[in-house]
Amino acid sequence: MRFLRCFAFLVVGLVHGSCLPVVEGAELDLSDQQIRLTLLHTSDIHSRLLPYDFRPLRTDIDLGLIPEAGPFGGATRMASIIKRERKKADRVLHLDSGDSFQGAPIFNINFGEVEYRFLSLLGLDAAVIGNHEFDAGAFNFTKQAKESARFPVLVANYEWEDYRSPVANNPSNTTALYTQPYTIRNVGGLRVGIIGLGNIGSLNSIVEQGNSLQAIPLEQNEVVRGYVDFLRPAVDLIVITSHAGLTEDQDLVEGYEAFYEWGIAKKYVKRTNSPWALLESFGPTNDANEPTDDSTIVRVTIPGVEGIDAILGGHLHIVLNPPQLLRDPNGRRVILSHGGAFSKYVNRLDLVIQMPPKLGDKSEGGEILSHDFKVFPIDSVWCDDGLHQLYRDQFWNAGAFIADPRVQAGVEKCKAEEDKDTSQLLLNYITDLDAKIALTTLFAYAPNDIARRNNSTGGDSPLGNITADSMRKRRGIEAEIAITNSLGIRDNLYAGPVSIESMFNVFPFENTINVMFLSGREMQELFDFITERSTGRGCVSQAQVSGARFTMDCAQAQLNQLRIPCDPTGDASECPNDGRTGGRQPWQCLTDATSGGGRCWSSPATNLTINGQPVQLNESYRIAVNDYIARGGSGFLVLKRNTTRIESGIPLRDSLIGFMQNFCTCNDLLSGNVDSYGNTIGANQQVCGTRDPARPSKWNVDPQQVSFCTQAKAFSDRLTVDDGNGCTCLGAFRGDASCPGAKDIAAQCQRDLPPGPFTGKCSCRDALAGDPVCGTVTRAVQNFCENPTRIPIASGIEDGRIGRRVK
């Protein structure tokens, strides 16, 4: 259910006029024919225009990505696939489901210009606006849409404010001029109406008046219903390109329940066509069981939209393979496909359409008889289906597939087939990027993955913990508590050298640390909100914290959602005595804003301590948060209401880099230097390891780190052993002139040396030897492999600071 009282509604006059929409292109008689249409679909590119490394999930592998065939994605590969598939079909549309901005350093420098220029170069037919298109502000989006987009940018469910009476410096002046609710494409005589559906759920402030986007959100089903009715007489097929989300796409066809004020809902309940169903009223009613007061809250069912043929969706970064088949209120099939993310895939949906028997009879339009769907994974052998089949047909030991000569030849073949026009477009941007950000710089080494999610309990995560710790302890911040939203951490830190580029993957957004002062009551409210938000997401914590410990009682949050009636003037004795114990807060009877009566409620964030002490409701606490949630992002209204926000200007990315640069090196861990508590001490007198929650003065060093460092030192020592003729393995790998027979010695060293640390693609031994399996080895990686014990060792653990209760 949704509470959408703040949403405006599409006025019928906005879409229904006295004339039909204009359809350009040749008029062909396709009546009573079966024709084919191919829809190429991309989504959530997130600025991944350059190939990148990551560790594919099981779902990625099932969709065809080969784990050893990195790097993945990239605009030149995507362009080649789209151009290739266009040539294979007669009638083709390429649609994009939004969020082409934000997610890689090229956006941080160019703010979306290159993303829209790339899509324009591809001949994109239409794209919907994604929520991340506004990450650099509404004015920036408008600028990029105006100057770089040569395709229709669609969104039907935003109404830009004041577009009829422009005001100076108001970004809505021009935004309305460079977006549109729909477009029509004539594809070989087939007239396709394309409607854009934007996201509302991730743009929290858009439902508030005077929001920074200067946009009024419109209820999606009624908006689309209006445009479908408007377009149907003029088109043969209607396709939605959506960034609303999977559930919202399903609701568009199947309908959903929501809460509204009766004054808004009644005209839709009483209308003849597609009426809303009145399910429940929270106030006085008349003999017809209808509310007598327009301000009464009602629960209604908003019916699905009739007449949609297909939905190409995005936002959740998933691929629906095969596409879902939905049924609209008339029982017609609607195809729902989602396109994945991060330039990992191009989807192809082939439709067979039966055209109506009479030319000009457009009341029903064409009917989709059948469809076929294919996913094209984008890895380093993207152009060779045979190699993907080879990978699936047999078991491969680690490293064996990419080392196979057939695969190496395939990699080179695919490189040669990457789109030259796109390469030319990107050239200047890449040069500029290299000049402004030293992406290959290494500052730490991770012996193991540092995960951004807690996959065991759903509480605190290793990467979340060190992120929050870095915020709290940062010089100039020195807060008692730090909190950041979990979804602001966008990737893991993978085992191997940690580079500046990997930190842009973790923190693509330019979020900064803000300092605020909250009372203990506000702290309790803040952690209650975190628990409630996490409950709606499988009781997986939606925030990462430092300096505090608490338990998310998701079972209590669910009990609160039942809104059990009680007397707000009483003692909450009506609330259930269900025998739940263990830190549960007493029941309260709160006034319910929906019904006006009382409802049972108890704090769902329990056992809250700050710096080891129970939270004191009347105390003041210094807290570090990121600027996004400080301004109320992701629903953190308790922070938005607070007026003490101080902007530090310190990016979270820089905070974590600086924090990790002070971690101990292998030389520190193996030095044997200890303090009076028995803690290992580094050369800069820093304590190595992680604090023991049970013994504050004791720090524990991870035995796996010590094991790694022991092996790294053994490799480093062997690398510089003189063979008696003035030659070392390091000298042989370098091809030193003073090393006689360097080539033969290097081959022997590659056979005899221990592998050494992992570089992300191969071992240091193989990287220094120039093994082709390693791909391009940067100077920074070479330097690390030559001196692996001198770099800080990055690690993170789950320490139980966020507990979870589900029953």
* Confidence at residue 170, expressed as pLDDT on a 0 to 100 scale: 54
Burial class from Cβ neighbours inside 10 Å (0-12, 13-18, 19+) for residue 780 reads middle
pLDDT at 205: 56
pLDDT at 732: 92
* pLDDT at 202 (0 to 100): 78
Side-chain-side CA neighbours of 176 within 13 Å: the count stands at: 16
Cα separations (Å) of 640 from 81, 234, 301, 588?
45, 47, 32, 25
Cα 334 from chain centroid (whole Å) = 26
pLDDT of residue 6: 40
For residue 139, the surrounding DSSP H or E stretch is helix 138-147
- Mean pLDDT throughout 709-730? 91
pLDDT number for residue 17:
42
- How does DSSP assign 331-395, residue by residue? --EEEEEEB-STT-EEEEEEEEEEPPSSTT--SS--EEEEEEEEEEE-STTTT-HHHHHHHHHS-
pLDDT of residue 24: 66
Distance (Å) of CA 553 to CA 527, 580, 605: 11, 11, 6
What pTM did the predictor assign?
A: 0.86
Calculate the dihedral angle through the C-alpha atoms of 211, 216, 217, 223, rounding to the nearest 10 degrees. -170
Parallel/antiparallel/unpaired status of strands 190-197 and 237-242: parallel
* 52-56, 72-76, 452-456, 458-462: range with highest mean pLDDT: 72-76
Structure tokens at 198: 């934007």
Could you tell me if 539 and 648 are in contact, meaning their C-beta atoms sit under 8 angstroms apart?
no
The b/e string for 564-574 (b: 16+ C-beta within 10 A; e otherwise) is bebeeeeebee
Q: How many whole angstroms from its chain centre is CA 623?
A: 26
Is the pLDDT reported for residue 461 higher than 50? yes
- Average pLDDT across the chain, whole number: 89
Checking if the pLDDT of 692 tops 90, the result is: no
> Considering only 204-213, 508-517, 536-545, 698-707, which range has the smallest mean pLDDT?
204-213
Closest listed residue to residue 800, CA positions, set 528, 462, 563: 462
What pLDDT does residue 726 have? Answer: 83
**DSSP codes of every residue in 543-604:** EEEESEEEEEEHHHHHHHHT--EE-TTS-STTS------SSPPPPEEEEPTTTSSEEEE--S
**pLDDT at site 342:** 96
Dihedral (CA of 420, 424, 426, 431) sign: positive
SS3 assignment, position 121: helix
Taking each helix axis as running N to C, give the angle between helix 75-87 and helix 113-121, from 0 to 180 degrees, rounded to the nearest 10: 20
Range in 117-131, 265-279, 479-493, 734-748 the model is least confident about: 734-748
| Per-residue confidence band for 383, with pLDDT thresholds at 50, 70 and 90 | very high
Task: Calculate mean pLDDT across residues 487-501.
Answer: 92
773 vs 379, residue with greater confidence: 379
Higher pLDDT, 710 or 723: 710
Q: Who contacts 434 (Cβ-Cβ below 8 Å, separation ≥6)?
A: none
State the pLDDT confidence band at 361, using cuts at 50, 70 and 90: very low
pLDDT recorded at residue 28: 82
User: How far is 158 from 658, CA to CA, in rounded Å?
Assistant: 41
Considering only CA atoms, give the Rg of the chain.
30
Task: Among 335-339, 401-405, 424-428, name the one with the lowest average pLDDT.
Answer: 401-405
In sequence order, what DSSP letters do the residues of 376-443 get, joined into one string?
A: EE-STTTT-HHHHHHHHHS---TTHHHHSHHHHHHHHHHHHHS-HHHHHHHHHHHHHHHHH--TT-EE
- CA end-to-end distance (rounded Å), the chain: 23
Peptide bond into 322 cis (omega under 30): yes
Average pLDDT estimate for 29-35:
89
User: Would the pLDDT of 67 be above 80?
Assistant: yes
Residue written as token pair 């994974």: 377
CA 132 – CA 119 distance, rounded (Å): 16
Do 189 and 31 touch, CB atoms closer than 8 A? no
Percent of the chain with pLDDT over 90: 70
What is the C-alpha separation between 341 and 315, in angstroms, rounded? Answer: 8
- Quote the CA–CA distance of 294 and 13 in Å, as a whole number: 24
**Regarding beta strands 548-553 and 802-805, do their DSSP bridges make them parallel or antiparallel, or are they unpaired?**
parallel
In this predicted structure, the answer to whether residue 18 has a pLDDT above a threshold of 50 is no
CB-CB contact of 232 with 362 (8 Å): yes
Each residue's pLDDT tens digit, 536-574? 889 999 999 999 999 999 999 999 988 888 998 888 888
Q: How far apart are CA 436 and CA 422, in angstroms?
A: 21
Bridge partners of 588, per DSSP, are 601
Residues 158, 198: contact at Cβ < 8 Å?
yes
User: What average pLDDT does the segment 413-425 reach?
Assistant: 97
Cis amide bond preceding 71, omega within 30: yes
Longest alpha-carbon distance in the chain? 105
**Cα gap 204→117, rounded to integer Å:** 29
Q: Does 485 score more than 50 pLDDT?
A: yes
The pLDDT of residue 218: 92
Question: How high is the pLDDT of residue 511?
Answer: 94
Q: What is the DSSP string of 237-256?
A: EEEEEE-S-HHHHHHHHH-E
- Please determine, for residue 359, whether its predicted confidence score (pLDDT) is greater than 70: no
- The pLDDT of residue 204: 61
Query: From residue 766, how far is each of 446, 711, 720, 728, 769 by CA, in Å?
Result: 19, 16, 16, 16, 5
Inter-residue contact 183 to 152 (CB < 8 Å) = yes
- DSSP code of 472? H
CB distance 310 to 40 below 8 Å: no
Percent of the chain scoring above 70 in pLDDT: 92
What pLDDT, in 10s, does the model give residues 179-216? 999 999 999 999 999 999 999 887 765 555 555 667 88
- pLDDT confidence bin for 173, thresholds 50/70/90: low
Cα torsion 196, 197, 198, 204 to 10°: value is 160
CA distance 554 to 531: 7
Q: What distance in Å separates the CA atoms of residue 249 and residue 796, rounded to the nearest whole number?
A: 38
Residue 303: the pLDDT is 97
Is residue 105 within 8 A of residue 439, CB to CB? The reply is yes
Let me know if 296 is exposed, middle or buried by CB neighbors in 10 A (0-12, 13-18, 19+): buried
469 CB-near residues (< 8 Å, 6+ apart): 482, 546, 659
Give the span between the Cα atoms of 331 and 334, in whole angstroms. 9
pLDDT band at 138 (very low <50, low <70, confident <90, very high): confident
Residue 636 CA: distances (Å) to CA of 125, 137, 483, 532, 633: 38, 20, 11, 11, 6
Pairwise pLDDT comparison (682 vs 382), residue with the higher score: 382
Neighbours of 538 (CB within 10 A): 9
